[in-house]
Structure 1
């Protein structure tokens, strides 16, 4: 069978987090760069479909193709490493330290941003014939997204900031669920189907993804969006990154680790009551220190 049980895929999550902490800077940046670029192209694709058809749901339905491609190619998004690498630290894997986790996050952020910015520049050139004409309908839509998701939040002050943060939390709850879902199967088709569902949900509901935004907002600035780079950082990217971190580790990484890697002992049956049928839970190996 291609299905992987929860205790098995949680061990894979911890192993993946450990391997990412010790990955070379070169490989980490290359994989992050390609992930940012592919996800940016997927965002362009989704916006294009939405503009051409007038159906936002159809754009959301097709957006996950980029996520599936980058995952199957072994590339890394900031949202994914936010969930996986802390587990290696919590599990006390040999040599894993907080500075190693932070190093991984920093390198992945730089790589994702560089990849997304590369696509932003290329697409801005395409949408404007090398900045010789006004942006086409797709470019105008991207510029409008940038305004709505910066100035739109700023107009509401603290309430807007809280809304932005919570959209970041919910985003990585779904995105990291997609990352984990891919570990639940050993077949390509099973991985794709499992990933597709939560990624569709996050995009369709307009949650805030830090890496997608690394494309949308620089691109929007180049395409005439009425907001500043400071607006982008203060009223989107920074709160979104924090929300993505909280969402991934709080609602995906820690619950799975707590119940499947550190399963509590079974309750004893009351006197005179037969024990429930079925095999005992698989013992969990001790953490490596």
Structure 2
């Protein structure tokens, strides 16, 4: 049996948090950049599947591949770290500066990898901007970039609130994928367990900070009517905050504080 009980998972969560917090800036940047690029690749693959089948659900089915690679290789994704690293801080196993340093550099690494892949994808797809007609995937990126920024802004505070709540719901599922991967010791088990919550968030159209680090700048490169200020004020900052709350409160703390602080005991039944 390769199943790992929730109580054991809680211990693994804390060990993972401490391990992540001990990584060097170099490792955080390299592993973070790889994760950002992999999620960008997953988005383009998902858009391809959706455009070919005319079914958005097809895109959601293939999108988890990038996340699964991140989990299997032990790379760094800041949205996943939101549910783990603060736990070590709450339990006084790491300092405040260590926690902030870790999350900051993973965020920067994710941003670098996402924007780099966006540029490489734009270079390949548009032939350095010389192609006259955008392909289907490129058009989807433009539409998504505008919808995720000025689309929310058009509805004022209600739109920004919607983005914030979608970000909470998103990272609830993403971090569930991080934790679910810990419930199995086999590669196949980790793939299935991690992929299910990721499928849910993408299928429901929730807001993920690292995905948006690729989608919005890529859309801008292909001509979306979005400025850098639009990107950060109407999406990135709001979504990042929502992701922190969703991942830490609804997954990290919820699971750790119901399993990690208890000792299992069996009481003999009375006769």
TM-score by length of 2: 0.96
Match of 1:231 in 2: 230
Q: What are the within-5 Å matches in structure 2 for residues 77-156 of structure 1?
A: 77-93=77-93, 96-134=94-132, 135-156=134-155
Go from structure 1 to structure 2 and tell me whether the alpha carbon gap of 1:264 and 1:10 turns closer, same or farther (over 3 Å shift): closer
Moved over 2 A (4+): 263-266, 275-278
Go from structure 1 to structure 2 and tell me whether the alpha carbon gap of 1:125 and 1:4 turns closer, same or farther (over 3 Å shift): same
Q: What are the within-5 Å matches in structure 2 for residues 157-196 of structure 1?
A: 157-196=156-195
Match of 1:6 in 2: 6
Q: What are the within-5 Å matches in structure 2 for residues 251-270 of structure 1?
A: 251-263=250-262
Cα distance, 1:264 vs. partner? 8.3
Match of 1:24 in 2: 24
Match of 1:68 in 2: 68
Mapped pair 1:246 → 2:245: yes
Cα RMSD for the two superposed structures: 1.5
Gaps of 5+ in 1: 267-274, 279-289
TM-score by length of 1: 0.90
Match of 1:286 in 2: none
Residue pair 1:161, 1:239 contacting (<8 A) in 2 also? yes
Match of 1:43 in 2: 43
Mapped pair 1:15 → 2:20: no
Residue pair 1:14, 1:91 contacting (<8 A) in 2 also? no
Cα distance, 1:276 vs. partner? 5.9
Cα distance, 1:265 vs. partner? 9.6
Does the residue aligned with 1:183 lie in a helix, a strand or coil? Answer: helix
Match of 1:204 in 2: 203
Q: What are the within-5 Å matches in structure 2 for residues 215-226 of structure 1?
A: 215-226=214-225
Cα distance, 1:138 vs. partner? 1.2
Corresponding pairs, count: 268
Gaps of 5+ in 2: none
Aligned counterparts of 2:95 and 2:261: Cα–Cα separation in 1: 20
Aligned counterparts of 2:91 and 2:77: Cα–Cα separation in 1: 22
Match of 1:281 in 2: none
Cα distance, 1:51 vs. partner? 1.5
Which structure is higher in helix share? 2
Aligned counterparts of 1:150 and 1:32: Cα–Cα separation in 2: 24
Aligned counterparts of 1:53 and 1:260: Cα–Cα separation in 2: 42
Residue pair 1:127, 1:138 contacting (<8 A) in 2 also? no
Residue pair 1:181, 1:194 contacting (<8 A) in 2 also? yes
